Amino acid sequence: MTKLHIKATKSSPEILLDPTTHQHTLKGESYPENSLEFYREFFDWIDAYIDTLEDTQEVIFNIELIYFNSSSSKVLMDLFDIFDDACEDGKNIAVNWVYNEDNDAILEYGEEFAEDYENLKFNFVVI
Amino acid sequence: MIDSYYKFQQHLEREGIMFSFVGPVSHNVVEGVGTVLRNKMELEEVSMNVSLKVFSIFIEQIQNVIRYSADRIPQDNFESDISFGMLIVGEKNKQYFLIGGNRVTSEQKERLNDFLDKLATMNKDELKQFYKERRKAQPDEHSKGAGLGFIEMARKSSEPIKYNFEKIDNESYYFTIETVV
C-alpha cells in the first residue's frame, strides 16, 4: 500500500495515512461541503489497509481535530465502527484523541465516542 | 433609498447585530464568513469554548439553510446547491445570538415542527442520547442528515432554541430559528 496524504483546507482536515509506520493522523477542521464525498478516498484506503493488516501490528490513529460538524461526527463514528470490528477480530488498533486543554467540546465528544466502543481503546492526549 | 442605508446599519448596530446576510449561500460563504467570525472573536479574546460554540451553531445553521431551503438552484449534488436564506449573528447582554431563516415547503414544515417540538422537551442528557441514536440511524432521504445539525444546535445553545413558521402561501412557510450562547 502507498501513503495517503491530503492537505488541509479551511473546512477539511489534513489526512496522513502511513502504512509503514502505522501511525495515522486526521488533523485540523472538518466541516466539508459534502462529507461523504470528501471522505470517500479516505475510507477506501482504510478498508484496503485493514484487509492487509497483521494482527500483531500496533496501529495508532491520531485524531487531532479542533472542530468538526455533525456530518463529520457521523464520519468519525463510521471510522470507529470499522476499527472496533477490526479489534474484535484481533487487530491491535488504538485511537489517540488529541485535544487542546481549552477545548471542552472536543474532549466531551471524544469521551462520548469512547463510552460507545467495547474493543477499540481511546487514549486522551492533552496539548 | 440611498439615504436610508445609514439608518439601516444603525438599526442593526443598536440590535447588537455584528453580521447579517440575506441571499444565496454556498460553501464559500460558509468558509469565508465562518473564518471571519472566529478571527473576530479571537481578537476580542473570547474563550475558545464560547467561540467554538458560536462557530459550531453558525456552521450547523448555515449548512441547514443550504440543505433545507426551499429556494434553491440545484447543482450536481444537493450539498453544492446554491440556496437562499438569512443568517444573523449578534451579541446582546453578553450573549451571542444566531438567527437563521429560509423558506420551507408545507410538507417540510410539518416534519421540522414535530422534530423541533420533540427537541424542546429534552434536557441536555436526553439530547446527547438522541444525538447518538440519530447518528447511528441511516439518514432518511427527506432529512438529508437525520436532523443531527438541529440536535447539535440544541446541545450547544444555553437556552431552548426558538423557532417560528410564518405562512407565506398554501405551499410554503418562512422558517426562523434562534439559538443563544
Chain B residue closest to A102 (CA)?
A: B48
Question: Average pLDDT in the A88-95 region?
Answer: 96
Length of chain A as a residue count: 127
SS3 A113: helix
Distance from the first to the final alpha carbon of chain A: 31
Domain count for chain B: 1
Q: Which pLDDT tens digit goes with each residue over B88-111? A: 999 998 899 999 999 999 999 999
What's the domain range around B48? 2-180
Task: Tell me, yes or no, if A2 comes closer than 8 A to chain B by beta carbon.
Answer: no
**Which residues on B lie below 8 Å from A37 (Cβ)?**
77
The CATH number that applies at residue A47 is 3.30.750
Name the pLDDT band for B4 (thresholds 50, 70, 90). Answer: very high
Eight-class DSSP state of B143: T
Residue A36 has what pLDDT?
87
Eight-class DSSP state of A5: E
Q: Which pLDDT tens digit goes with each residue over B50-92? A: 999 999 999 999 999 988 888 888 877 766 778 999 999 999 9
Eight-class DSSP state of A103: -
Residue B126 has what pLDDT?
97
pLDDT at B161 over 60: yes
Lowest average pLDDT, out of A17-26, A99-108, B14-23, B67-76, goes to B67-76
Domain count for chain A: 1
Name the pLDDT band for B137 (thresholds 50, 70, 90). Answer: confident
C-alpha angle B67-B70-B73 in degrees, rounded to nearest 5: 75
Rounded-to-integer distance, Cα B60 and Cα B68, Å: 12
Residue B144 has what pLDDT?
59
Task: Tell me, yes or no, if B47 comes closer than 8 A to chain A by beta carbon.
Answer: yes
Please indicate whether, in this complex, the C-beta atoms of A70 and B48 are within 8 angstroms of each other.
no
In this prediction the ipTM stands at: 0.93
Please indicate whether, in this complex, the C-beta atoms of A70 and B148 are within 8 angstroms of each other.
yes
Name the pLDDT band for A83 (thresholds 50, 70, 90). Answer: very high
Q: Are the C-beta atoms of B71 and B102 separated by less than 8 Å?
A: yes
Stretch (H or E) spanning A66: strand A58-68
Query: Residue A6 pairs with which residues in a beta bridge?
Result: A15
Detail the DSSP E strand segments found in chain B.
17-25, 72-73, 82-92, 95-105, 162-167, 172-180
Tell me whether strands B82-92 and B17-25 are parallel, antiparallel or unpaired.
antiparallel
Q: Are the C-beta atoms of A64 and A25 separated by less than 8 Å?
A: yes
Q: How many CA atoms lie within 13 A of A73 on its CB side?
A: 29
Three-state secondary structure string covering B50-87? HHHHHHHHHHHHHHHHHHHCCCEECCCCHHHCEEEEEE
A39: Cβ contacts below 8 Å, ≥ 6 apart: A32, A75
By Cβ distance, the residue of A11, A102, A112 closest to B49 is: A102
By Cβ distance, the residue of B53, B80, B135 closest to A33 is: B80
Task: Tell me, yes or no, if A116 comes closer than 8 A to chain B by beta carbon.
Answer: yes
Tell me whether strands A4-6 and A14-17 are parallel, antiparallel or unpaired.
antiparallel
The CATH number that applies at residue B147 is 3.30.565.10
Rg (CA), chain B: 17
Which residues of B, range 19-38, sit inside 8 Å of A by Cβ?
27, 30-31, 34-35
Lowest average pLDDT, out of A11-20, A34-43, A73-82, B64-73, goes to B64-73
CA distance A68 to chain B (A): 8
What's the domain range around A22? 4-126
Residue B72 has what pLDDT?
86
CA distance A32 to chain B (A): 8
CA distance B58 to chain A (A): 10
Please indicate whether, in this complex, the C-beta atoms of B47 and A31 are within 8 angstroms of each other.
no
Mean pLDDT of chain B: 91
Rounded-to-integer distance, Cα A87 and Cα A94, Å: 9
CA distance B71 to chain A (A): 18
Chain B residue closest to A75 (CA)?
A: B135
Helical H runs in A34-118?
Answer: 35-52, 70-88, 104-114
C-alpha angle A43-A29-A8 in degrees, rounded to nearest 5: 70
